[in-house]
A and B are shown apart, each in its own frame.
Chain A
Amino acid sequence: MKRTVTLTVNGTTYQRDVEPRTLLVHFLRDDLGLTGTHIGCDTSQCGACTVMLNGKSIKSCTSFAVQAIGAEITTIEGLADGDVLHPLQDGFWEEHGLQCGYCTPGMILSSLQLLQRNPNPSEEEIRKGIEGNLCRCTGYQNIVKAVQHAAAKMAEVKV
């Protein structure tokens, strides 16, 4: 028995009928065609599927689509302001914070949550903040630099 899911993603409202067991990540990717959110594991370890749901970062493989009915979701596709990259996107590019790019969308969204809660994190706090996201390429050092880059840029904007 399918259920109707209505939600808003990156400012656009969508309505689809899906099986109740459909995971939010499959809904975003397969039903809405928003494939920037990735799937990297099946036990909520890797964080490749991280999105913002009502302002909080969640692993979208660990939520059913029906749990997100009425929610406001931000995915990597909705982070830039038109052609202007978000400071985090810019930071990852500037600091070589990605190689294969697969973990990057989830890593950026987790970092966004971190900077919203702590705009000026230390290296240790950044490492702790992205602990729920695995990267196999970079050894994390340049991801830390990317987040620091973004933090500095976001602080400038506020001033």
Chain B
Amino acid sequence: MDFQLTEEQQMMQRMVRDFAEKEIGPVAQEMDASGQFPWEVIRKMGSLGLLGLPVPEEYGGCGADTITYAIAVEEISRVSGSVGITLAAHTSLGLDLIYRFGTEEQKHKYLPSLAAGKGLAAFGLTEPEAGSDAAAVKTTAVLDGEQWVINGQKTFITSGSIADVVIVAAVTDKSAGAKGISNFIGEKDTPGFRPGRDEEKMGLKGSVTSQLFFEDCRVPKGNLLGQPGEGFKQFLITLDGGRISIGAMAVGLAQGALDAAVKYSKERVQFGQPIARFQAIQWMIADMATEIEAARWMIYRAAWLKDQGVRFTKEAAMAKLYASEAAERACFKAIQIHGGYGYVKEYDVERIYRDNRLTTIGEGTSEIQRLVIARQVLGKF
């Protein structure tokens, strides 16, 4: 057993923290108010290799382990949930699908520029009628000579309208149910592909969440990922990893809320003393710190299991479930500690609370995580 980050992981943590505080911190509040996508930040992250961390070097990435990647998502999210989810969706959904299931040719074609942050990747799974029930996707892909013809609609796709590459889940064999779904690599300017509106969200306002439309959108035959019918299995594997990153995002947001609460509670004076002297406040801080610590180690452990190459479905679901719900509690308390000031936009905790709300919903709701965990714990009976 070794509960220490390696020197290398620690340096990466320092670098990303430093970057996030200096380059993202000053614009985080404004991003939330304006809803502008932070292209400048994303470009800088790309130039530092932060948009291709777990991608092997031969495809233009850094070859970092999953713990290092989780640390990066956490540190970025500590300062901005919007940039955190953009990083998470790009890396552990978009890039992961290509890296894990793409051919050598597909990997060499798409990964280097995406890993360098020259463009973003997105994964289009969710549809108006297929959310938690991902096998219910209705988008279809039909082979016509050398091309697949895609028709359908996607919704809630992170970076969907601004991505260079969108992986699209579509039904290639209606009769086969979940085994009739396949994933395709789509490029942004393909005729027949049209982004719809970007959603007006409660939080994560500096990230883009889009509707996507496909009307006789033709992609080359070679853009299929793996074999026809493997799509469902592919994205279940990828989503296991994605859960680690949404969990890491929640830990980062919660840590940001705790940092703000600690600072505020020492500065705010009521009844002649800093409110941090009141036991009621101390207990909230103690609970926040404890739950964040637990969540962080659950994330690290799931990430570690992933790097060992063993199954980590249950641990990733547990870590994501616990981290997102612990973060919800931490954000609630951080606002409570700020009193009325926590309810106004001038203070970061107001934004963090809204940003974190997504983490119990995206990449599988808490209910779906419990369903996954219970299935693993109960086994067949």
Are A and B co-members of a single complex? no
